[in-house]
Every structure is written in C-alpha cells, then in structure tokens.
Amino acid sequence: MVKIGNIELGDFPLLLAPMEDVSDPPFRAVCKQNGADLMYTEFISSEGLIRDAAKSVQKLDVYDYERPIGIQIFGNEIESMREAAAIAEEAGPDILDINYGCPVNKVACKGAGAGILLDIPKMVSMTAEIVKRVNIPVTVKTRLGWNHETIKIVEVAERLQDVGIQAISIHARTRQQMYKGEADWSWLNLVKDNPRLHIPVFGNGDIDSPEKAAEYKAKYNVDGMMIGRASIGYPWIFNEIKHYLATGEKLTAPDLTERLAVTRKHLDFSIEWKGEKQGILEMRRHYTNYFRGMPNFKPFRTEMVTADTYEQVCEILNQVAELYADYEFQP
C-alpha cells in the first residue's frame, strides 16, 4: 500500500499531473470518475495568493468528491511561499505540493519552478519552511535537473525527504529539455535504489498508453505514475492503465456515446465553474483529443473551437452524434 502521510492510495496509484490551464475542477472531475487516484490543482502563484488575486484564489477551489486532492503552489521567495502555503491549507486540501518543475521562461527564469534547481540549498530551505508552516503532508514535483550536467536528483530527493516531504514526483527530463526528447526514467531507478530514501517516488513523463505504463512499471522501481498530457481529452487513460496492469488486456476504446457524454459533462461543469464565456473558451483545448482519430472531423473541430454559446456547441455535438453513429474507435 502506497501512502502519503496517512493517506492510502492503493498498491500502484495513478496521479493526475498539475497542468496550467488544464487541471481545473471540471477536468479533474472527469479524471476522477475515470480512475485517477490522486489529483493536483493547477499550479498557483504564491504572490497571487498573498495579493488575493482573483485568478489565483479561484484555483483553490477543491471539492469533497475529488479527495484525496492536493493544491500546488510555486514561487521564488521563501517567506511568500510560507504565507501561500498557509492560505492554501485553509482551502482544505489533503496535500500541499510544491512546484519545482515548471520549465517555462516566465516561471523558471525568475527562480521559481524548475529555476530553483540552480540553487539546491535554497530549494531545501524553502521546502523545510513550508513543511514547518502547514499541518498537512507536503509533496514535491520536480525535474531531474536544470540540464544534464547539473542532475543531482538522487541527492535532491534525499535532502527534501530529510526536511519533511512525504512523497516526490519526478518528471524524467531536465529543464533544458522542456517537453522534448525522451524522458530518462533510469534516474528514477537510482533515486529508488538509495537505501536512505523511504518516501514514495512517482514517475512522470511519456506515459501515454497502458502498454508503456506496464513496461515502465516493470523496468523502473517507482511507486506509481503521474499522467499529464496523455489525459487531456482522454481521461479514460487511468482506468485503461489499471485494467491492463491487472489483466494484461486492453479495454475497448470508449465509443462515441461515451465520448459525447463525457464531453458534455466536462462542458457543463466548465460553464458552471467559470461562466459561459470563459467555460466555453477553456473547453476548446480538449475537443481534439476527445474525438481523436475520427475521419473528416476537422470541420466539426473548427466549428467547436469557434462556437461562442452553449447552444452552438451542443448543436455541433448533436450533429457529430448523428453523422458518426456507426463509427468504431480503435483501442
């Protein structure tokens, strides 16, 4: 049984990665219903929380059906991160996660996210202060290092454990790689082989199919996996991986009826949470994957990503249901 503090996650948990502009409550809802064992919010700016910025505060929304749920924060100032951690804890999550992995320039080049990998002592000090400030388990998501020459992930994981974190998720790329090239999970074996390390280690990067999940589970000694981009528009991946790991067989791909139902559910929640205009706008990134593989679908996708009202989107979905009623998706 994998545990974070007293939170039991099963024998090999699958985690939903925190993804900016993706891992919001509507998306988390459909992932939870399709097998995600632990989910994290989008990353939240510590400075935004301290200033009570509306966008940052809204990201604190968590719901009981999501549990266990973690709130993730990022920043480059230790005192600001301590204050933000306390604010996040008041929102009622089960876990507080620190983002030490975001590679984008506007974050990393300011010393936050993956930028702190250039200053490991500060990374350790910041983590220690956050652990002291809250009463819930603290976890970390990070990368292997800033670049290949600066990889110290074995040392980093141990030092973060020693100041109190209770799990670590490692995206097996460097900051320099961004999301390009192949993730190198061999480093995760080295982390797990450290006899002093006893916290759970979750692997992240390139898990996009049940077969790959099974291959990596057998090859690398991780305690679970974090799924990110492969879940966008395809929340079924969590249950598909679980089924394959348990039986060695692939589930039948979700049919059109199921895809339409989940798309509508996701859209309804998105509008309920953010209002019609913003809810429709933020759904646009998901349509391509919900209907991936359907022939001659581009005109419908174009209509969906330009539709401005709920009624327009629903009418397009009705047309899709009628025209592709006999289409069979391949697993």
Region of 164 (left: φ > 0; alpha: ψ -120 to 50; beta: rest) is left
Q: What six digits make up the tokens of 23? A: 């891992």
Catalytic residue, chosen from 31, 102, 109, 314, is 102
Measured CA to CA, the distance from residue 245 to residue 102 in angstroms comes to 30
Residue 107's nearest CA partner among 69, 79, 68, 143 is 143
The answer to whether residues 218 and 245 touch, using CB atoms and an 8 Å cutoff, is no
H runs (alpha helix) in the chain: 25-33, 46-50, 54-58, 78-90, 105-108, 120-133, 153-162, 186-193, 210-219, 237-247, 256-274, 276-283, 287-290, 298-304, 310-323
Residue 309's nearest CA partner among 278, 286, 277, 285 is 277
- Whether 314 is catalytic: no
CA 135 from centre of chain: 23
Q: What six digits make up the tokens of 287? A: 């349509």
Measured CA to CA, the distance from residue 287 to residue 239 in angstroms comes to 20
Measured CA to CA, the distance from residue 210 to residue 229 in angstroms comes to 14
Catalytic residue numbers read: 102
